[in-house]
Amino acid sequence: MIWDQSFIELAPLPRGFHLVTNEVLAQAPDPRNCEMGLLHLFIQHTSASLAINENADPDVRGDLERHFNFMVPELAPHYKHTTEGPEDMPAHIKNVLIGPSLTIPVANGHLALGTWQGIYLCEHRDHAGGRRIVATLQGRW
Amino acid sequence: MIWDQSFIELAPLPRGFHLVTNEVLAQAPDPRNCEMGLLHLFIQHTSASLAINENADPDVRGDLERHFNFMVPELAPHYKHTTEGPEDMPAHIKNVLIGPSLTIPVANGHLALGTWQGIYLCEHRDHAGGRRIVATLQGRW
Amino acid sequence: MIWDQSFIELAPLPRGFHLVTNEVLAQAPDPRNCEMGLLHLFIQHTSASLAINENADPDVRGDLERHFNFMVPELAPHYKHTTEGPEDMPAHIKNVLIGPSLTIPVANGHLALGTWQGIYLCEHRDHAGGRRIVATLQGRW
């Protein structure tokens, strides 16, 4: 059985949805020898999220950022958690909507992503530092 | 230890939320001999999602479709990714909101779903083809 | 290899977002002897959800409840599933948005949560009973 785990550090990114498949896989456990398994990714933050979506047209990422800002606006009158900046409470809500983790199947030594799927880091803060992801690979040889 | 994986093909479905528990389990690895484990389902597409919700009143599925169309409308003025049809960018947003995967516990040879829980295929496109799901079962005998 | 599973019963909670890290871990399989693994939590209900978010300021939980009520209002004219109470159909939609399960990495005998992360039970009904969560720990010694 395979169990392998790494702690990934992503450099600071501007607010928005970012395609980070290559950056993540460069630091994640190598699935090459895994015939069948799962790769789990978990971001240790409450104001940035992980998602999977289209890896081609960058306008998809821009539209996601614009639409999440529309659904979860800054300075809504019902927010009470306002002392950490106008985008902080929206960041927490976006994180609950999108989620902090992904589980991706591994088949024959590769992630079994669809042709158009890539891994997104969704940065909800205006001036965030780097982000930490725990990557756990399990499976069989 | 049990590791088993299958690639499920679901026939094309109209846009909307569909209860597909039986169709999925018919093609997923059989949990009958698994005393304790997890079944992971992963859809290899960015415009259809997997969810779990009520398996009884079909109005719940209709209301979900109507409400997601309300939260994520077509032709919003902030969309730039518009060349693949008016429902394509909303489909990507819905997929990020709902997610591409499920992990369901297995106990004593059965999925440990609650009484009212069923598996949904959420089809966000108007004229989609069939959808592919990677099903991975792991556990112990 | 470690496989361990428990069925957690949470006492009834009022509608809202609740920090339940301690209540959940008191009944979940003990990760102390797990060097590397994953803890999976699955709620067996369609009108309450599990999430991870900030474990400090309780206003974050209040704002989440208020904002989800704003995005998913009661008595929307497009709801047809209305016989189980005005908050029942919104509860199903919130459950699809937030999700029924969490997978949390385990490292060196501890959950690898970030400093500010805690486990939330999101109760979407006005007068719910207790909630049942299946907790599954897997990993290696």
Confidence of residue A132 (pLDDT cuts 50, 70, 90): very high
- The Cα-based distances of B123 to A29, B66, B91, B127, C84 in angstroms read 33, 13, 8, 9, 26
Look at residues C50, C34, C10 and name the one whose alpha carbon lies nearest to residue C139: C34
The pLDDT, as a whole number, for residue A124 is 98
Q: Which of A52, A67, A115 sits opposite B100 (nearest CB)?
A: A52
The pLDDT, as a whole number, for residue C96 is 98
The pLDDT, as a whole number, for residue C81 is 97
The pLDDT, as a whole number, for residue C131 is 98
Amino acid at C76: A
- Which of C1, C6, C39, C46 best tests the B interface by mutation, with the highest count of B CBs <10 A? C46
The predicted complex's ipTM stands at 0.97
The percentage of residues in chain B with a pLDDT greater than 90, rounded to a whole number, is 100
Amino acid at C117: Q
Predicted confidence pLDDT, tens digits, chain C (141 residues)? 999 999 999 999 999 999 999 999 999 999 999 999 999 999 999 999 999 999 999 999 999 999 999 999 999 999 999 999 999 999 999 999 999 999 999 999 999 999 999 999 999 999 999 999 999 999 999
The pLDDT, as a whole number, for residue C110 is 98
pLDDT in tens, A31-70: 999 999 999 999 999 999 999 999 999 999 999 999 999 9
**Contact present, A34 and A139 (Cβ < 8 Å):** yes
Taking the Cβ of residue C53 and every Cβ of chain A, the question of whether any pair is shorter than 8 Å is answered with yes
Does an H or E element contain A43, and which?
strand A36-43
Contact A38 B136 (CB under 8 A): yes
pLDDT in tens, B41-50: 999 999 999 9
Taking the Cβ of residue B141 and every Cβ of chain C, the question of whether any pair is shorter than 8 Å is answered with no
The span from the CA of B133 to the CA of B43, in Å, is 4
Contact B81 A60 (CB under 8 A): yes
B106-127: average pLDDT: 98
Determine whether B121 is exposed, middle or buried from the number of CB atoms within 10 Å of its CB (0-12, 13-18, 19+): buried
The pLDDT, as a whole number, for residue B134 is 98
pLDDT in tens, C48-60: 999 999 999 999 9
Taking the Cβ of residue A134 and every Cβ of chain C, the question of whether any pair is shorter than 8 Å is answered with yes
Confidence of residue A102 (pLDDT cuts 50, 70, 90): very high
Distance (Å) from the alpha carbon of B100 to chain A's nearest alpha carbon: 7
Mean pLDDT (chain A) is 98
The pLDDT, as a whole number, for residue B82 is 96
The pLDDT, as a whole number, for residue C60 is 98
- The Cα-based distances of B78 to A55, A63, C17 in angstroms read 20, 7, 31
Residue written as tokens 């933050």? A45
Amino acid at C23: E
Q: Three-class SS of residue C108?
A: coil
The pLDDT, as a whole number, for residue B88 is 98
Contacts of A99 in chain C (CB under 8 A): 99
Contact B117 C100 (CB under 8 A): yes
The pLDDT, as a whole number, for residue B28 is 98
B69-77: average pLDDT: 98
Taking the Cβ of residue C104 and every Cβ of chain A, the question of whether any pair is shorter than 8 Å is answered with yes
**Contact present, A106 and B133 (Cβ < 8 Å):** no
Distance (Å) from the alpha carbon of A36 to chain C's nearest alpha carbon: 16
B113-123: average pLDDT: 98
Determine whether A141 is exposed, middle or buried from the number of CB atoms within 10 Å of its CB (0-12, 13-18, 19+): exposed
Q: What is the dihedral of CA C137, C122, B89, B99, to 10 degrees?
A: 10
The span from the CA of A132 to the CA of A135, in Å, is 10
Contacts of B117 in chain C (CB under 8 A): 44-46, 100
Q: Could you tell me the two tokens for C41? A: 């939590």
Confidence of residue B79 (pLDDT cuts 50, 70, 90): very high
